Chains A and B, each alone.
Chain A
Amino acid sequence: LFLRESWNSGQSITVRQGSALQGPRVKLIEQAAELYSQTKDNSFEAKAAEEHAKLLKVQQDLEAATGQPIFVDSSISDTIRTCITLGNNRAAQRIRTDFKVPDKRFYWLKIFALATIKNWEALEKF
């Protein structure tokens, strides 16, 4: 068990230093999630790695859609903010449900994002 754990972290480190090539990186993270889930104590880590892989895919799609390389490697909160700032509320909502973002956090993000683009009207309505 010990060995596997150290191997896990080793694996994850390669993931972290991951290349710019996104495809293999997602795969590596998925592998890490798999490994984490094989031990009982690492269910939290397994879940996190799973979500990480999912996030990277969503971010790649967003980058492809917007043509702007500003999503990959930002956090979930950052991604939601960026979406709202760009006026893409639908994407923001989708991430919100996909990753089960609690309302409290979502509203803070929305407020910050709307304030950034000085969209006072929407802020008022909200």
Chain B
Amino acid sequence: MAQIPSLDHAPINLVALREQAQKELIQVLSSVRGKKVLILDPKLSGPLALIAQPTLLKENGVENLYHLSADPVPSECKNVLYLVRPRIALMKLISSQITQDNIQKLQKSHTLVFCPRRTIVCEKVLEEEGILNNVTILEYPLHFIPFDEDVLSLELDTAFKETKVDGDLSAIWYLARAITLLQSQFGVIPNIKGKGKAAVQVADILTRMQREQNPDTTAAAVTPEIDTMILIDRQVDLVTPMCWQLTYEGLIDEFLTLSNGAVELDPSIMGITQPGVKKAKVPLNSSDKLYRELRDLNFGVVGQVLRNKATSMKQDYNEVTGGGPQHQSVSELKDFVKKLNALPELTRHTNIAQHLSTYTTKSKFLTRLSIEQTLVEGQSYDISFEYVEEMIHRQEPLTSVLRLLVLLSLTSGGLQKKHFDYLRREFLHAYGFEHLFTLSNLEKAGLLRKQEAKNSWQNIKRGLKLVVEDQDDANPTDVSYVFSGYAPLSIRLVQQALKGGWKAVDDLLKLLPGQSFDKKQGVTPDHGVPSREGSVREGSVTSDSAPAVDGRRAVVLVVFIGGVTFAEISALRFLGAQEGMKYDFVVATTKLINGTTLLKSMVEEG
């Protein structure tokens, strides 16, 4: 089980948020009396591990825990509790299990808990399967899951695809709901800025939800703890997730898959060679002090930092052993022992970093990286085209090919017409015709297209200074260090929103998909003006919001609709740590992603 991150240093009280989630989980569990077996949607078990310790389940009568699968439930327990996302495929599985139980005349009681809420479609399926009357249906309103002191996620892994391809807006609704709940806890957020279609959609639903709330009990009574919210539709910046993340945390995610704040490591990586040792789950969050220091650094400097740590520890050791006991004061010894406690962390990260460097030193990785970088710079269409062509011919992993293909399309304003048909055909020939649907998904989401209008990438790149030359990755002065020279478009938008406002770059914003807006909501109770929930004024507001007067830094909630990468989070942390920065950043998203996982959701399984 993943270790739950400590949230003590969070800029807003996330512990309360987590406790709320725990409380509601207990409520759900105790709604079924006595001992029970819990059958969990595999997609939910990771997020739940970040909410509650396994002991909490036991304390509330859960005897056994299984993942929902096609196999029958291997338990005699009379009370069966399902906790699932409202997905149709899962309804079918559950139905067949319950029908099986009924046929065998096992007197079981079944409870079905939807997370975050029941849907009509799912109930319809249950009805068709003829079991709707045999189950008790409950809801577990789990919304934002705190992943770390400054990261919240809904963990809806297909949110981007659903909104952009299927036209299913439930993720938008869930997000708005989660933000509304956040506001009821931390106050109405006075400033809202947004860019992109989904941002507009979320803001609209937010307004509506506020209007529907009873004014006396609303968030209006709470002094706002969050000063500004910036909503960014992932569609506005698809380039960033397609690039290899070059921070320590980002690379761990790219190569080893960081899921739910933990990474599964092969024992061989950790230097254990005896056979039979299972994969170990290593939690990675800011409770690990060394990781906190390393995670946001460019990977190029991580090795050096680790080396320095090790050397200084060795020195301390030599001093302690060489000096003889008479020269050591007890407090010095105590300091040393304290440092020794950090040793397992040091070993762990040295091992991980070493393992990562076996990837990053490969020529294949370096070639790919340089292709990506020239693409972002908007150069060498032809070379990149040939590279992608060869990848398809060699049948390299599907998502890896798509990532570069998409990047090529995004940065060149689409593929040239002859190439568009040619590459699509080659792609289908190499990977199978069922991927016709994958291609059409990519087109619907704006990830792949034919060159039509003028390529605007050059203007965007220049206007927002996305490519920064001569950046010293060891002593960065700009967020572009997270991609060794490319500053994420999304982060530049955040910077611009806080400094000077979006009005100043209106021309550039128009080149990006979707509308942008800047509005204020509510009025702080301090002013004694009756609150006006819902009456949101559009535009015309000075965008440079004043920092909090009491010397505390204002909290900015950056919401990425459709997913955020670790490198972008690192970039925001970097901004927050800058001298003279008036803001603390908290990131909220529908899902922590990277280019590969984002594209995987687009791939249609044959």
- Tell me the bound Cα distance from A109 to B390 in angstroms: 11
Would A16 and B434 count as touching, CB distance under 8 A? yes
| Contacting pair A52 B433 (CB below 8 A) | yes
Q: State in angstroms the CA–CA spacing of A69 and B198 once bound together.
A: 47
Cα(A99)–Cα(B428), bound, Å: 12
**What A residues does B390 contact at CB under 8 A?**
104, 108
8 Å CB contact of B431 from A48, A49, A52, A75? A75
Which of under 10, 10 to 19, 20 to 34, or 35 or more describes the interface residues of A?
20 to 34
Contact A48 B432 (CB under 8 A): no
- Contact residues in B for A49 (Cβ distance below 8 Å): 433, 436
Number of contacting residues on B, CB 8 A? 22
Please tell me if the beta carbons of A77 and B429 are within 8 angstroms of each other in the complex: yes
Q: Is B426 in contact with chain A by the CB < 8 A criterion? A: yes
| Residues 24-67 (chain A) with a chain B CB within 8 angstroms | 44-45, 47-49, 51-52, 55
Q: Mark B338-369, 1 if CB is under 8 A from A, else 0.
A: 00000000000000000000000000000000
Contact between A104 and B429 (Cβ–Cβ < 8 Å)? no
Q: How far is the CA of A47 from the CA of B424 in the complex (A)?
A: 12
Bound CA–CA A52/B86 (angstroms):
34
- Asked if A88 lies at the interface with its beta carbon under 8 angstroms from chain B, I say no
Q: Are B421 and A48 in contact (CB under 8 A)?
A: no
Chain A's closest residue to B424 (CB) is A44
Bound complex: CA of A48 vs CA of B440, how far in Å?
12
Contacts A75-B429, A76-B430; A48 near B436 (Cβ below 8 A)? yes
> Please, how many angstroms separate the alpha-carbon atoms of A104 and B392 in the complex?
11
Is B425 on the interface with A (CB-CB < 8 A)? Answer: yes
Using an 8 Å CB-CB cutoff, how does the interface string of B85-126 with A read, 1 for contact, 0 for none? 000000000000000000000000000000000000000000
Given B392, B428, B437, B606, which contacts A73 in the complex, CB threshold below 8 Å? B606
Is A101 at the interface (CB under 8 A from chain B)? yes
Bound form: Cα–Cα A73–B433 in Å: 9
A18 to chain B, nearest CB (A): 10
In the bound complex, what is the Cα–Cα distance between A25 and B389 (angstroms)? 31
Q: In the docked arrangement, what's the CA distance between A101 and B422, Å?
A: 11
Tell me the complex Cα distance, A45–B440, Å. Answer: 9
- Specify which chain B residues have a CB less than 8 angstroms from the CB of A99 in the assembled complex: 429
Q: Decide if the interface of chain B is mainly helix, strand, loop or mixed.
A: helix
| In contact, A77 and B430 (Cβ under 8 angstroms) | yes
Number of A-B contacts (CB under 8 A): 60
CB nearest to B426 among chain A residues: A105
A112 CA / B395 CA spacing, docked (Å): 10
Chain A 68-80, CB-CB to B under 8 Å as 1, else 0, gives 0000011111100
Q: How far is the CA of A104 from the CA of B432 in the complex (A)?
A: 18
Known interface pairs A12-B437, A45-B436; A108-B428 also in contact (CB < 8 Å): no
Q: A45-B436, A51-B433 are in contact. Are A105 and B393 (CB under 8 A)?
A: yes
Contact of B428 with A105 in the complex, beta carbons under 8 Å: no
Contact present for B394 and A76 (CB under 8 Å): no
With A and B bound together, what is the CA distance between A49 and B425 in angstroms?
Answer: 11
State whether B430 touches A75 (Cβ < 8 A): yes
| A9 vs B166: C-alpha distance when bound (angstroms) | 12
Provide the residues of chain A in CB contact with B604, threshold 8 Å.
Answer: 16
**CB-defined interface of B412-426 with A at 8 Å, one 1/0 digit per residue?**
000000000100111
Q: Quick one: CB contact mask for B546-566 with A, threshold 8 Å, 1 for yes?
A: 000000000000000000000
C-alpha spacing A27/B437, complex, angstroms: 19
Closest CB-CB distance, A55 to chain B, in whole Å? 7
Q: Quick one: which of B362-397 are within 8 Å of A by CB?
A: 389-390, 392-395
- Minimum CB distance partner of B435 in chain A: A75
Measured in the bound complex, the distance between the Cα atoms of B426 and A47 in whole Å is 13
Given the known A-B contacts A55-B433, A75-B432, A104-B389, are A48 and B394 also in contact in the complex, defined by CB atoms under 8 Å?
no
Q: Is the CB of A16 within 8 A of B606?
A: yes
Contacts of A47 in B (CB 8 A): 425
- Write out the residue numbers on chain B whose beta carbons fall within 8 Å of the beta carbon of A108: 390, 393-394
Cβ-defined partner of A77 (8 Å) among B389, B395, B440, B606: B395
If A16-B606, A75-B430 touch, whether A104 touches B436 (CB-CB below 8 Å) is no
25 A-B residue pairs with Cβ-Cβ distance under 8 Å, sorted by A, are: A9-B440, A12-B436, A12-B437, A16-B437, A48-B433, A49-B433, A51-B428, A51-B433, A75-B428, A75-B429, A75-B430, A75-B431, A75-B432, A75-B433, A76-B430, A77-B393, A77-B395, A77-B429, A78-B395, A102-B426, A104-B393, A105-B392, A108-B390, A108-B394, A109-B393
Given contacts A75-B430, A77-B429, 17 further A-B contacts (CB under 8 A): A9-B437, A9-B440, A16-B606, A44-B424, A45-B436, A48-B425, A48-B433, A49-B433, A51-B428, A74-B432, A99-B429, A102-B426, A104-B390, A105-B430, A108-B390, A108-B393, A108-B394
